[in-house]
Amino acid sequence: MSKKILVLAGDGIGPEIVAEAIKVLDALQAEGAIDVTMEEALVGGAAYDDCGDPLPAATLEAAKASDAVLLGAVGGPKWEPLHFSKRPERGLLGLRAGLGLFANLRPAFLYPQLADASTLKSEVVSGLDIMIVRELTGGIYFGEPRGVETLESGERYGYNTLCYKESEVERICRVAYDIAMKRGKRVCSVDKANVLEVTEMWREVAIETAADYPEIELSHMYVDNASMQLVRAPKQFDVMVTTNMFGDILSDCAAMLTGSIGMLPSASLNAEGQGMYEPIHGSAPDIAGRGIANPLATILSVAMMLRYSLDAGEAADRIEAAVSKVLDQGLRTGDIMSEGMRQVGTAEMGDAVVAALRA
Ligand code: NAD
């Protein structure tokens, strides 16, 4: 049966990079490798401009009715003066909450062709392949109570709450263990169990849940050490699983090990396997409309979508191989350009991936 994809191009470079991802989906569809129907809707600043709401009810309904959502990026200076509740980013948060997307998968994979793009020595990062599994709907970003008050003394007092139910820890650990079973079977759970009681419980639940996965080699690391190890010897990691805030920080660090945020996809999944797929970068207003953005992170997000939500792992493998082939051919967008390579624009890069897929 045909699977439904909701396409949300968003703002800035969003429409440009999503157009290239759609070319790839169309090419796979034309040869019968996948069976999908695509519908488009508005989110972010584009939606605000259209109807005054960064997440119109119709967009959320369409997202709920789809098997997967493909998102470009949202945001831009134009909408920064708006109240928080109307900002483009609220559209993203609303989609995450509305779809119950509790598991954020952020791979940090370095194509060997781009080893020189990293700020780290190429022997430290070449062959890097880490999957960071970040809890996305709990922890300190959502915990109550939260706020800023003025004390009787006149001093301001700000507070947030780090809290997790054990069921929330168990389900994110299961996602990490399931993914590790398809990779190197090693999981490092990152916490701050020496200081924070809630993450001491996190560690206990990680261990208890691992009893169902006898083949998984589970290790634990404090977050301060994990951040150090990520830049010291990142290849020691296979899958990392951690809280919302620790994952937010560590995944950005891991992303930069690879040199360009224009290359990295992400997935956010709910309990039913429904997911939202997007590049990790933002809407890059500084280069929007110039046809120079790197579409590969979005194209690789399509590969994740096919693998994790649409049960089309073979097509996903082919997209990843096509991207590798295009890099072998020496084609580079400006963000990953290096000496001796041929610089291409967004559309030419997308066309090259499609040609490599067909070859
Ligand atoms: P950004 O990721 O948009 O850009 C950072 C830098 O990377 C810029 O120099 C940009 O030109 C470059 N870059 C990003 N993607 C690129 C690509 N595909 N190809 C080539 N170069 C690329 O981050 P920012 O500038 O901090 O944020 C810009 C806007 O994006 C803000 O409004 C922010 O809120 C929003 N944002 C959205 C998301 C999202 O939609 N998920 C994520 C992060 C930021």
Domains and their CATH numbers in the chain: 1-107+260-359 (3.40.718.10), 137-257 (3.40.50)
- Average pLDDT (113-131) is 90
Strands 3-10 and 68-73: parallel
Q: Considering only the C-alpha atoms of the chain, give the largest distance between any 2 of them, rounded to a whole number of Å.
A: 72
Number of the ligand 1 atom closest to the C-alpha atom of 297: 18
* CA separation, residue 297 to residues 102, 229, 267, 326 (Å): 21, 25, 11, 14
Task: Return the pLDDT at 256.
Answer: 86
pLDDT digits 0-9 by tens, 235-281: 999 999 999 999 999 998 998 888 778 999 999 999 998 999 999 99
Å from CA of 325 to ligand 1 middle: 26
Task: Return the pLDDT at 261.
Answer: 83
Token pair in block for residue 68: 């997967």
The single-letter DSSP state of residue 242 is E
Whether the full predicted model's pTM is greater than 0.85, yes or no, is yes
Poorest-confidence range of 30-34, 116-120, 160-164, 176-180? 116-120
Q: Which of 62, 124, 21, 10 lies closest to 346, judged by CA?
A: 21
> How far apart, in whole angstroms, are the C-alpha atoms of residue 355 and residue 167?
46
Number of the ligand 1 atom closest to the C-alpha atom of 10: 40
Which residues, in sequence order, are bridge partners of residue 7? 40, 70
Task: Return the pLDDT at 84.
Answer: 85
pLDDT exceeds 80 at position 231: yes
Task: Return the pLDDT at 177.
Answer: 98
pLDDT digits 0-9 by tens, 29-70: 999 999 999 999 999 999 999 999 999 999 999 999 999 999
Which phi and psi (to 5°) does residue 283 adopt? Answer: -85, 0
pLDDT digits 0-9 by tens, 293-350: 999 999 999 999 999 999 999 999 999 999 999 999 999 999 999 899 999 999 999 9
Amino acid at 346: T
Task: Return the pLDDT at 105.
Answer: 97
State the CB neighbour count (10 A cutoff) for residue 216. Answer: 21
Atom 11 of ligand 1, residue of closest alpha carbon: 284
Q: Any binding-site annotation on 220?
A: no
| Residue 73, ligand 1, Cβ within 6 A | yes
pLDDT-derived band of residue 220, with 50, 70 and 90 as boundaries? very high
| Residue 285, ligand 1, Cβ within 6 A | yes
Task: Return the pLDDT at 63.
Answer: 98
What crossing angle do the helices spanning 346-358 and 296-308 adopt, rounded to 10°?
40
> How far apart, in whole angstroms, are the C-alpha atoms of residue 69 and residue 18?
12
| Residue 268, ligand 1, Cβ within 6 A | no
Number of the ligand 1 atom closest to the C-alpha atom of 73: 40
Task: Return the pLDDT at 185.
Answer: 98
| Residue 262, ligand 1, Cβ within 6 A | yes
Task: Return the pLDDT at 247.
Answer: 97
Q: Where are the beta strands (DSSP E) in 192-335?
A: 217-222, 239-242, 265-269, 275-279, 331-332
Task: Return the pLDDT at 259.
Answer: 75
Task: Return the pLDDT at 224.
Answer: 98
Average pLDDT, the chain: 96
Among all residues, which ones are annotated catalytic? 141, 192, 224, 248, 252
> How far apart, in whole angstroms, are the C-alpha atoms of residue 124 and residue 90?
38
Å from CA of 310 to ligand 1 middle: 27
